[in-house]
Structure 1
Amino acid sequence: MHVFVTGATGFVGSAIVKELLANGHTVTGLARTDEGAKALETVGANVYRGSIYDLDSIRAGVALADGVIHTAFDHDFSKYKQNCETDRGVIAAMGEVLAGTTKPLIVTSGTALLKSDPIAKEDDGLPAGSDLIPRAASEEAADALAAQGIHASIVRLSPSTHGDGDHGFVPMLIDIARQKGEAAYVGDGNNRWPGVHRFDAAALYRKALEKGAIGAKYHAVADSGVAFRDIATIIGKKLGIPVVSKTKEQAAEYFGWMAHFAGVDNPSSSEQTQQQLDWQPTHVGLLEDVENGTYFEGK
């Protein structure tokens, strides 16, 4: 299959590109920069120059392909809601090209959008009031396409999609701890984060592309729920600083915009995903990766 991948040079997207190529697919990756284009060429992917802010380039890239994996997202949190609406528009533009075909589209979302009562599952819809959650825009856009018969499905990533080169939540927590001189958690720290290694996530995207169902949701979850306190404990040990509890009020000052994510309790299951797609995580878990991986190297 010839696959168009957005976010193809990103942390997750670059792993997806390699996974697809290793399994016999042809890949065209969206690239904004010369550096990105070179990275794609180096691994054997084709390059399509464009941007999520240029919908004509998105439509043209989609038209070239037999399937699409969409992982690109602007992570500038100073304009988070705007970026979420941009993603809605990108997905809608893809749908314009895919309408009337059987070509699959895999859209990226996150398990943290869901209520975990007692555990978030694939067939859980967005909770009431999701119109107040900006990131819900991506799922809403994909669901709208599926309702039209377009072969759109969703991969929900764990809050910590980890591995070498991670620049997400865990590195941010490490930076905050280093700046503050203490590693913190909220309350008793028993709130749970799911985790998945980026290579396991990449394999899931490939399987969803190859045999996913219209409108399906798949969970990229290996660790169903890691206590946040355990993450903070490893950070404190590796940095040689105290590990402390913060009240919600103190957490707002300590974590800044990350306070909500630091306090979220999001145990999530991937049981249905594993059964439906014959997907089995095989790589190192979150705590072992933070403890023994490259998160503290060169710093």
Structure 2
Amino acid sequence: MRIFVTGASGNIGKAVTKELLSYGHRVLGLVRSDAGADELKRLGAEVQRGTLTDLDVLKKAASECDGVAHLAFVHNMEDYGGCCAIDRAAIEVMGSALKAAGGDRALVISSGTMLLRKGQIGTEDQKYDESDPFGAVRGPSETVALAFAEKGVRVSVMRLPSVYGEGGLGFVALMLAAVQSKGLVAYLGAGENRWPATHTLDIARAYRLALENGKAGSIFHPVAQEGVRTKDIAEVLGKKLNVPVTAISQRETLDTFGPMAIAMGADNPSSSAKTRQQLEWTPVQPSLLEDLESGTCLESQTALPSWSHSA
């Protein structure tokens, strides 16, 4: 298959690109920068220059490929609604291009388990939580994508947990940002809230399997660990970095993490039972706590997060 990968030079996109290439697929990667283009060429992928707002570019690239792995997203927390509108427009254009091309064309879009109702185990059968401030705005991207299942496109939604490894740490990077700014690792309240987590390489394999064999209209949860307590994460980080570990209040969470405070306090355990069965996917990489304890993903963390720039 020839696959168009948006966000191909990002942490997850690069892993997906490598995974696809290693299994004999061809990759056309969307990148914005010279550095990103050079990286993709070194991996053996084709390069498509452009951004998510270049709809004509997205349409042409999708129409010339057998499938699309949509991983790019504009991360501007000052205009999150606008970012989600860009996402929906990109999905609409690429889905329409695949439909017009005909045949067995696959579209796998990226979403998140954090869009589900909190405080309960989220499953692949559940719809995004419309009462959640993030779910209400980004969740409609799932609806736009899944509509193409009835139009002949083999579309599926990949709801990502907190992803670690290969240069990124997902929501754990929030805690590292607090280390940089305050010299401590912080968690909210008793730290009993849980984050689902999966290593980047296991995530990449899930995308490949969905592109190859995913059924139209599927929702997947590539979740290796159903829920890791934030207190446990903070304690491992504190030990590895030799900094204090502190419980903070809701008010302090807002002051420390800004718009991402909602993620710090989210209790988001998520099941992957149907995903494992349907895709025959079994995670094999070290768990989040194992990776943190070994220091592997900390060593590969190339930059602390910025929540106000495009990525």
TM-score bracket relative to the smaller structure = over 0.9
Shift of 1:130: 5.7
Aligned-partner residue type, residue 228 of structure 1:
T
2:164 alignment counterpart = 162
Structure 1 unaligned spans of 5+ = none
User: 1:76 & 1:277 partners in 2: Cα distance?
Assistant: 33
Check whether the contact 1:194–1:224 (CA below 8 A) recurs between aligned residues: yes
User: 1:247 & 1:290 partners in 2: Cα distance?
Assistant: 25
Greater shift, 260-269 or 282-291, is seen at 282-291
Shift of 1:116: 4.6
User: 2:5 & 2:299 partners in 1: Cα distance?
Assistant: 30
User: 2:184 & 2:7 partners in 1: Cα distance?
Assistant: 34
User: 1:211 & 1:163 partners in 2: Cα distance?
Assistant: 25
The alignment of Structure 1 onto Structure 2 pairs a total of residues equal to 298
User: 2:190 & 2:169 partners in 1: Cα distance?
Assistant: 26
Check whether the contact 1:58–1:94 (CA below 8 A) recurs between aligned residues: yes
User: 1:31 & 1:117 partners in 2: Cα distance?
Assistant: 37
User: 1:146 & 1:276 partners in 2: Cα distance?
Assistant: 17
Check whether the contact 2:130–2:136 (CA below 8 A) recurs between aligned residues: no
1:82 alignment counterpart = 82
Give the secondary structure class of the aligned counterpart of 1:220. Answer: coil
2:283 alignment counterpart = 281
Check whether the contact 1:162–1:286 (CA below 8 A) recurs between aligned residues: yes
Structure 2 unaligned spans of 5+ = 304-311
Shift of 1:257: 1.9
- Tell me which of 201, 208, 211 is aligned to 2:210: 208
Greater shift, 203-212 or 235-244, is seen at 235-244
Shift of 1:84: 1.0
Check whether the contact 1:119–1:266 (CA below 8 A) recurs between aligned residues: yes
Check whether the contact 1:87–1:137 (CA below 8 A) recurs between aligned residues: no
Greater shift, 164-173 or 148-157, is seen at 164-173
Q: CA RMSD in A?
A: 1.8
2:155 alignment counterpart = 152
Matched, 1:140 2:143: yes
Matched, 1:226 2:228: yes
User: 1:148 & 1:99 partners in 2: Cα distance?
Assistant: 7
Aligned-partner residue type, residue 28 of structure 1:
L
Aligned-partner residue type, residue 151 of structure 1:
R
User: 2:68 & 2:299 partners in 1: Cα distance?
Assistant: 35
Q: TM-score, normalised by structure 2?
A: 0.90
User: 1:189 & 1:61 partners in 2: Cα distance?
Assistant: 45
Aligned-partner residue type, residue 224 of structure 1:
E
User: 2:182 & 2:74 partners in 1: Cα distance?
Assistant: 27
